[in-house]
Amino acid sequence: MQGLPGNGGAMRRGRKPSRPRLKLPTFQTFLAMVKPVFVLNGPNLNMLGTREPEIYGRDTLDDVRKRAEARAKALGLAIDFRQSNHEGELIGWIQEARGAASGIILNAGSLTHTSIGILDALSAAELPVIEVHLSNIFRREAFRHHSYVSLAAKGVICGLGVQGYELALEAMTKLVA
């Protein structure tokens, strides 16, 4: 009995023809599909649009959230977008992310420059982190030039306004895939 074309002679040897293998997602890709990216925002970001619009722009945090949700959807990501003025709450969310998120995008606001607690939480989370700032922190006051968050971040996006969140989501897709 001759084998059928494309089955490598399987019929001749009494075996079933091989079936094409399905390409399954990697474990990281699966996690990214199941777990959202946490997009966390620190102190005073609830004041976007009204607080120093010449520095931070006129978009509100709700505008930022809507843009981030639209970009995440286009990229096939789910996001969990949150804001707090309280360091302890941000640390709690970062700790929660360890088991509930595929990555963290963080605009820690002024806590960027002061919080070792946030750095420790980010390190313990063992997730990819992208740091975002609306303004270019390196063109501002000297105290803003140091970032504790950067020590745990895979990358930093600053100075591009609200577009920075969308760019962070694009970068995150490569980190969680």
**Residue 133 among the catalytic residues:** yes
| 19-32: burial string, b at 16+ Cβ within 10 Å, e else | eeeeeeeeeeeebb
145 is catalytic: no
Please tell me the number of Cα atoms within 13 Å of 173 on its side-chain side: 13
What is the rounded distance in angstroms from the CA atom of residue 146 to the CA atom of residue 71?
Answer: 29
pLDDT 10s digit of each residue in the chain, 177 long?
455 555 555 555 666 666 667 666 654 555 445 799 999 999 999 999 998 888 888 999 999 999 999 999 999 999 999 999 999 999 999 999 999 999 999 999 999 999 999 999 999 999 999 999 998 887 777 867 789 999 999 999 999 999 999 999 999 999 998
Helix (H, G, I), strand (E, B) or coil at 37: strand
DSSP output for 138-150 = GGS-GGGG--SGG
Q: Which domains does the chain show, CATH number per domain?
A: 27-176 (3.40.50.9100)
Single out the catalytic residue among 86, 113, 133, 145: 133
